[in-house]
Structure 1
Amino acid sequence: MTSQTAQDPQVQSLGSLNRQMIVILDFGSQYSELIARRIRETQVYSEVLSYRTSVEQLKQLNPKGIILSGGPNSVYDQNAPHCDPEIWQLGIPVLGVCYGMQLMVQQLGGQVVRAERAEYGKASILIDDPTDLLTNVEDGSTMWMSHGDACESLPEGFEILAHTENTPCAAIADHERKLYGVQFHPEVVHSVGGLALIRNFVYHICRCEPTWTTEAFVEESIREIRAKVGDKRVLLALSGGVDSSTLAFLLHKAIGDQLTCMFIDQGFMRKDEPETLVEIFRDQFHIPVVHVKARDRFLAIIDGITDPEEKRKRIGHEFIRVFEEESKRLGPFDYLAQGTLYPDVIESADTNVDPQTGERVAVKIKSHHNVGGLPKDLRFKLVEPLRKLFKDEVRKLGRSIGLPEEIVQRHPFPGPGLAIRILGEVTDERLDILREADFIVRQEIKERGIYHDFWQAFAVLLPIRSVGVMGDQRTYAYPIVLRLVSSEDGMTADWSRVSYDLLEAISNRIVNEVRGVNRVVYDVTSKPPGTIEWE
């Protein structure tokens, strides 16, 4: 993971919304983003910054507390990452997690060595001091360990708060300087009492207040949008997903008809989705939407193409061409609205800054929004109001500003749409078959009230035919694969253990109602080793 530093003006702007915040200094942990999310759950704002962030930069942000993340290194490695040692003199509470704790110990005069026994997975912590950081954390609680090093001696002023069977220093503190460390990962779901520990640090030690709320975000965002845009026009590429839809509602609330949404219908949407989307935005909420019907263009560009990456590439490039043509026809526009989320900010250091204005300018829209890269001569200044938010926060925001629940809770849908849920060549016939089969899957789980039990639930069409019997006649038709998975973030996923009754109902309806299908199978592969999508 590459974290941006506070030198980036966009990172600095994240702190402008709310001065009460916790900064996470990232040392390469896979959990750094998760720490930020857990703090946000306490209604306190948090940012992830590089471990290289200087004390001077931190002073400008004025955090109420600092968390040092875990990381893959050992603190005694030759090129191990270190934070600015003046952090310990700031008078700001610091919590070191795993590597962060070991770094704290080393820089303050203690000693870290390779542990006799590494500790990975679940371990019970035995609490020696149940106050302060460990208030309301039950003795014997399970915490998630992942370390091969140990603190052999502590710096002066530190004491042990908790230990495990294998780790004498599982939690430590210098109460006077408000410096704390834990050898486990309180941010992961496996750590029982982990959120209570985080709340103790955020509220009782850092003295934060729960001011990071949806209402406060909406008010501040509207002020910022109006101040930035003025009386200029804004263009938004609307996909129908929760990110772009929430952004459309927020922008319209801020600037009204200065916003124009462009919905490019490439012909690969699910049944009735284009019409429903346009009706919701244009007719129900009076948000200007230009409906670009480009189905024939997209079908032609992937005619005969079977390689999935080539399909994605061609669809993305054609989207750019259509977007460019339509934006010039509708323009001029000064701003391009983009649904960048905070994970994009954390994981990408690719920032393009106009040397004259100091503003970020768009040279591409992210591929997960259907666009592979805008031409360099098509320059907009960016409006990215959601770049402070995680996905779950976007859903809360969308719900709070009136976004219909059917969009708020919409399952993730790939940019190329059904074109990559048809393996091999995409044809009109196969699109029609898959739309009907997919509609039945979604209809059945919605009628049972279990739509939100799944991360995704959809149908896949395989480019093969098999023999069947229908009405005493031989058939030679396509199989449909059902893919229903559960997940928290899409990074990993497990196939859903659904009832046989549900599978039977879906299968019976598909083979009876969808012409061209005579067989239905269920995918029981997790991610990894498989992926959620088939292409």
Structure 2
Amino acid sequence: MPPLISKEIFALGVPVLGICYGMHLITHLLGGKITGSGRNEYGKTTINFSLDCPLFDGLKQKEICWMSHRDSVSRPPKDFRIIASTQSLPIAGIENSAEKIYGIQFHPEVIHTPSGMDILKNFLFNICGCSSTWTVVSIIENQVKEIKDTVKDGNVICALSGGVDSTVAAILVNKAVGRKLTCIFVDHGLLRAGEDIQVEKTFRKNFKINLVHVKAKKRFLSKLKGVIDPEEKRKIIGNEFIRVFEEEAKKIKNVDYLVQGTLYSDVIESGTRDAAKIKSHHNVAGLPDDMKMKLIEPLRQLFKDEVRKLGIELGLSEEIVRRQPFPGPGLAIRIIGEVT
């Protein structure tokens, strides 16, 4: 039985947009008909839009879109009209304008649908009446205030990996608490070439931030001895990171908070409730139960592209902000088998 949603959603009086399977749900729950085509449709195709539909405001009648489906709508629900079609798919979009319920078979959220973002904007701003209040500056201002209110007279240490996420998190927290922040950079011997030099330059020279450089290569390698499973490596490194931080924190008075560069994608990947577990992220699953410090995760609600925008606004160089992703546990999980 495919997953369903409550039919009561459609009685809330709010606009609804169903994408791909979401369109199938709308059709099924409201009395339309879904038919199995017997073959998959996957890839780019030309789609025809009804331009009198507010969802497609500002678009051309013919656009390129991305399809990824097997079943399709063969009869829309009562009071719905067809608003999009392709050469092989007569019903690629449906609309109930009175109830502001829309369904589209294609995927507007992917880059392969060039006008996809315009469609989503039309739904949010023209149909739902939302206002565009999210800006990089507002995110920084809100986070700075929240961090100040949280930390107060306490001190903070920040877990630095040298990557974009922890770097942006550190600079953001520094903007909020200044000299109350001490950044701890742990060199576990599995970093990118020249990582330690770049971290020293960015934090000590450019931003004048308190930086403790811990050279712990032997310590980490001893903990990883004989370990083959990459998931176990992640958790070992995550736990050892925290142990190092706690040891360093004892040298600083009144350290109550630990900053991590956890992103929203990290939280998703770690699995929540009934979601399928993809992998445990070292920023999330590696935390020991007896950790004495409280977490500050200023980027937890953001995705990578948003974090890069924050980094630029905070004054980080393009070289740092645009660098390729590198796992926090470093080469340990890129090396197959035991790390020696």
TM-score normalised to structure 1 length:
0.56
Task: Specify the SS of the correspondent of 2:255.
Answer: coil
Structure 2 CA distance for aligned equivalents of residues 255 and 85 of structure 1: 48
Distance change in 2, residues 1:318/1:203 (3 Å): closer
Structure 2 CA distance for aligned equivalents of residues 85 and 421 of structure 1: 46
Structure 2 CA distance for aligned equivalents of residues 388 and 376 of structure 1: 23
Q: Which residue of 2 aligns with 1:393?
A: 306
Structure 2 CA distance for aligned equivalents of residues 283 and 120 of structure 1: 51
Structure 2 CA distance for aligned equivalents of residues 312 and 132 of structure 1: 48
Q: Which residue of 2 aligns with 1:191?
A: 113
The alignment status of 1:250 with 2:172, answered yes or no, reads yes
Distance change in 2, residues 1:268/1:121 (3 Å): closer
* Residue 390 of structure 1: how far off its partner (Å): 0.5
Structure 2 CA distance for aligned equivalents of residues 231 and 103 of structure 1: 52
Equivalent residue for 1:215, pick from 127, 134, 137: 137
Equivalent residue for 2:317, pick from 404, 424, 428: 404
Distance change in 2, residues 1:272/1:127 (3 Å): closer
Distance change in 2, residues 1:90/1:419 (3 Å): closer
The alignment status of 1:375 with 2:288, answered yes or no, reads yes
Q: How big is each residue's C-alpha offset from its partner over 1:134-156, in whole Å with a ceiling of 9 and x where there is no partner?
A: 22332332222222222232222
What amino acid is the match of 1:177?
Answer: E
The alignment status of 1:265 with 2:193, answered yes or no, reads no
Give matches, 1:71-86, under 5 Å.
78=1, 80-86=2-8
Task: Specify the SS of the correspondent of 1:141.
Answer: strand
Task: Specify the SS of the correspondent of 1:330.
Answer: coil
Q: Which residue of 1 aligns with 2:26?
A: 104
Structure 1 CA distance for aligned equivalents of residues 286 and 39 of structure 2: 49
* Residue 220 of structure 1: how far off its partner (Å): 1.1
Q: How big is each residue's C-alpha offset from its partner over 1:334-364, in whole Å with a ceiling of 9 and x where there is no partner?
A: 222121111123344559xxxxxxxxxxxxx
Partners of 1:85 and 1:107 within 8 A in 2: yes
Q: How big is each residue's C-alpha offset from its partner over 1:220-273, in whole Å with a ceiling of 9 and x where there is no partner?
A: 111111222222222211111111110111101111122221111223334443
Q: Which residue of 1 aligns with 2:99?
A: 177
Distance change in 2, residues 1:144/1:111 (3 Å): same
Q: How big is each residue's C-alpha offset from its partner over 1:377-426, in whole Å with a ceiling of 9 and x where there is no partner?
A: 22322211111111011010011011233321222223344566777887
**RMSD, matched Cα:** 2.9
* Residue 193 of structure 1: how far off its partner (Å): 2.3
Q: Which residue of 1 aligns with 2:267?
A: 345
Distance change in 2, residues 1:312/1:192 (3 Å): closer
Q: Which residue of 2 aligns with 1:477?
A: none
Task: Specify the SS of the correspondent of 1:95.
Answer: strand
TM-score normalised to structure 2 length:
0.86
Q: Which residue of 2 aligns with 1:73?
A: none
Task: Specify the SS of the correspondent of 1:336.
Answer: strand
Partners of 1:129 and 1:162 within 8 A in 2: no
Distance change in 2, residues 1:300/1:86 (3 Å): closer
Q: Which residue of 1 aligns with 2:276?
A: none
Structure 2 CA distance for aligned equivalents of residues 271 and 113 of structure 1: 55
Q: Give the % identical residues.
A: 50
* Residue 173 of structure 1: how far off its partner (Å): 0.7
Structure 1 CA distance for aligned equivalents of residues 12 and 310 of structure 2: 35
Q: Which residue of 2 aligns with 1:135?
A: 57
Structure 2 CA distance for aligned equivalents of residues 384 and 89 of structure 1: 37
Give matches, 1:419-458, under 5 Å.
none
The alignment status of 1:120 with 2:33, answered yes or no, reads no
Distance change in 2, residues 1:142/1:366 (3 Å): closer
Q: Which residue of 2 aligns with 1:160?
A: 82
Q: Which residue of 2 aligns with 1:65?
A: none
Task: Specify the SS of the correspondent of 2:139.
Answer: helix
Size of the alignment, in residue pairs? 333
Q: Which runs of 5+ in 1 are unaligned?
A: 1-77, 352-364, 428-535
Partners of 2:266 and 2:281 within 8 A in 1: no
Structure 2 CA distance for aligned equivalents of residues 128 and 231 of structure 1: 59
What amino acid is the match of 2:182?
Answer: T
Q: How big is each residue's C-alpha offset from its partner over 1:277-333, in whole Å with a ceiling of 9 and x where there is no partner?
A: 123212331211111122343455567x69574876765554444333223343542
* Residue 174 of structure 1: how far off its partner (Å): 0.9
